Amino acid sequence: MKYLPLVWFGIWRKPGRTVLIFLQVAVAFTLFGVLQGLKTGVDHAISDTRADLLLVFSRLSRGEPLPLATLNQIKTVPGVRVAIPVDLFGGTYQRPTQWVLMVAITPDKDWTSAFTFEIPPAYLAAFQTSRTAALATEEIATKYGWKVGDRIPLESTIANSDGSTVWTFHLVGLFHDSDIGGGTEKILIQYPYFDEARLTHKGTVNHLNVAVQDPRMAFAVADEIDRRFANSANETRTQSLRELAQLNMQSIGDLNFLIRAIVAAVLVALLFATASMMMQSLRERTPELAVLKTLGFTDRAVFLLILTEATAVCATAALFGLVLAMVAFPLASKFIPGLSMPPIVVGVGIALAALVGLVSAAVPAMGAARIQIAAALANR
Partner 1 sequence: MGPSGSGKTTLLNLIGGLDRPSTGQLTVAGERLDQMSGADLAHWRARHIGFVFQLYNLMPTISAERNVELPLLLTLLSSRERMVKVAAALELVGLLDRGKHQPGELSGGQQQRVAIARAIIADPKAAEVASRQLHIDKGQLVDGSASAAA
> Given the rule CB under 8 A, which residues bind partner 1?
2-3, 5-6, 9-10, 12-13, 287-288, 291-300, 372-374, 377-378
**Which residue lies nearer to partner 1 by CB, 57 or 303?**
303
- Report the nearest approach of partner 1 to the CB of residue 373 (Å): 5
**Which residue lies nearer to partner 1 by CB, 172 or 371?**
371
- Report the nearest approach of partner 1 to the CB of residue 255 (Å): 46
- Report the nearest approach of partner 1 to the CB of residue 291 (Å): 5
- Report the nearest approach of partner 1 to the CB of residue 276 (Å): 22
State phi, psi for 148 to the nearest 5 degrees.
Answer: -60, 130
- Report the nearest approach of partner 1 to the CB of residue 36 (Å): 37
Say whether 15 sits in a helix, a strand or coil: helix
**Which residue lies nearer to partner 1 by CB, 312 or 319?**
312
- Report the nearest approach of partner 1 to the CB of residue 298 (Å): 4
213-219 LR contacts (CB < 8 Å, sep 24+): 213/79, 213/80, 213/81, 214/52, 214/79, 215/50, 215/51, 215/52, 217/79, 218/51, 218/52, 218/54
CB within 8 Å of 138: residues ≥ 6 apart: 174, 175, 176
**Which residue lies nearer to partner 1 by CB, 210 or 290?**
290
Dist. CA 103–CA 96, nearest whole Å: 19
Q: Nearest-CA neighbor of 210 among 191, 195, 225?
A: 225
- Sequence length of the chain is 380
Chain centroid to Cα 134, Å, comes to 30
**Which residue lies nearer to partner 1 by CB, 11 or 136?**
11
**Which residue lies nearer to partner 1 by CB, 262 or 374?**
374
- Helical axes 299-332 vs 343-369, angle rounded to 10°: 150
**Alpha-carbon distance values, 12 to 8, 20, 22, 284, 347 (Å):** 6, 12, 11, 14, 26
Name the E strands within 111-245: 117-118, 133-137, 151-156, 166-177, 186-190, 204-205, 207-212, 236-240
**Which residue lies nearer to partner 1 by CB, 233 or 295?**
295
Contact criterion met (CB below 8 Å) for 128 and 116: no
- Report the nearest approach of partner 1 to the CB of residue 13 (Å): 5
- Report the nearest approach of partner 1 to the CB of residue 365 (Å): 16
**Which residue lies nearer to partner 1 by CB, 247 or 378?**
378
